Amino acid sequence: MLILVTGGAGFIGSHIVTALTDAGHDVRILDALLPAAHRTDPPIPEGVEFHRADVREAADVAEALRGVDAVCHQAAMVGLGKDVADAPDYVGCNDLGTAVLLAGMAEAGVRRLVLAGSMVVYGEGRYECPSHGVVRPGPRRVADLEAGRFEPPCPHCGAALVPGLVTEDAPMDPRNVYAATKLAQEHLSTAWARATGGRVAALRYHNVYGPGMPRDTPYAGVASLFRSALERGEAPRVFEDGGQRRDFVHVEDVARANVAALDGLAGLAEGTGRAYNVGSGEPHTVGEMATALAEAYGGPRPVVTGEYRLGDVRHITASSRRLRDELGWTPQVSFVEGMTQFATAPLRAG
């Protein structure tokens, strides 16, 4: 098949391109090479067709879709951002870009889509109260964060909660602009599928890391920020108390998940979508991740700062059982192996 990968020159997209070509697919890349993600032009693999264009430009999208069998939509502005002033850029890149792409796919008769989703659509993860069972904690309060009370209490009785694994059926609760745009992408894609008889798999990535992450940018993931600090000879700065639980999944496993989802689209009914968590199944705290990187790199030990970002959530870890059971995907890179590799892996200019 000929697969169009939007954002295929980016961090995750470039690994997906490699995985698809290794699986025997022909690949075409559409990427605007925006300066926020690309300080220099990245290498394009031999035999891969490249279109330098913005996914928001309908004519360029139409040209890139010619002869295409399926699309892996990775192009997006990522990360929490710096402040609400980023909102127009996020909505433009993520939601308008997705709308233009879907309109082009409808016109071109392309009916298969793998969408890069995100775990941020859930807001906080799964929590259980000893007295009230599974509960949804409310928004984090500035007064609590300032006082170092980072764990969300039970909204009914104030008791300490036990974090667990979030499933795809959990309620959606986007808590920042980026999260809202990622949820909108899913809704737009599902509407497209219903209207056209298409099929869409939305892969809700958890904390992706690995070779080729951009360095020194507020839009990068926390793993990249820590790795960049170590490269500068600085100690990683860990926010809150370092106890935030996350699922760190290696980019090569994410690329394999995209290949599996592409193959699995045939099993979906026409006009439907299916969401899949993509996580390692090995929850770790942010503090543990920073320590593992620092030790593998041989750099300064992390510093726990007590700082916070109001849009962050405390715990969010994935159950990827649906992806394993339905599509036969399993992660191949362990936390220890992945962090050891990432500690010395090359980063890209951000």
Integer Cα distance of 80 and 311 in angstroms: 8
According to the 3-state scheme, what is the secondary structure of the chain?
Answer: CEEEEECCCCHHHHHHHHHHHHCCCEEEEEECCCCCCCCCCCCCCCCCEEEECCCCCHHHHHHHCCCCCEEEECCCCCCCCCCHHHHHHHHHHHHHHHHHHHHHHHHHCCCEEEEEEEHHHHCCCEEEECCCEEECCCCCCHHHHHCCCCCCECCCCCCECEEEEECCCCCCCCCCHHHHHHHHHHHHHHHHHHHHCCEEEEEEECEEECCCCEECCCCCCHHHHHHHHHHCCCCCEECCCCCCEEEEEEHHHHHHHHHHHHHHHHHCCCCEEEEEEECCCCEEEHHHHHHHHHHHHCCCCCEECCCCCCCCCCEEEECCHHHHHHHCCCCCCCHHHHHHHHCCCCCEEC
Integer Cα distance of 331 and 228 in angstroms: 25
Of 207, 205, 203, give the one whose Cα is nearest residue 289. 207
Integer Cα distance of 293 and 234 in angstroms: 12
Choose the catalytic residue: 127, 178, 276, 297.
178
Q: Are 289 and 243 in contact (CB under 8 A)?
A: no
Q: Are 296 and 345 in contact (CB under 8 A)?
A: no
Q: Clarify whether 276 is annotated catalytic.
A: no
Q: Are 244 and 323 in contact (CB under 8 A)?
A: no
**Catalytic positions, please?**
178
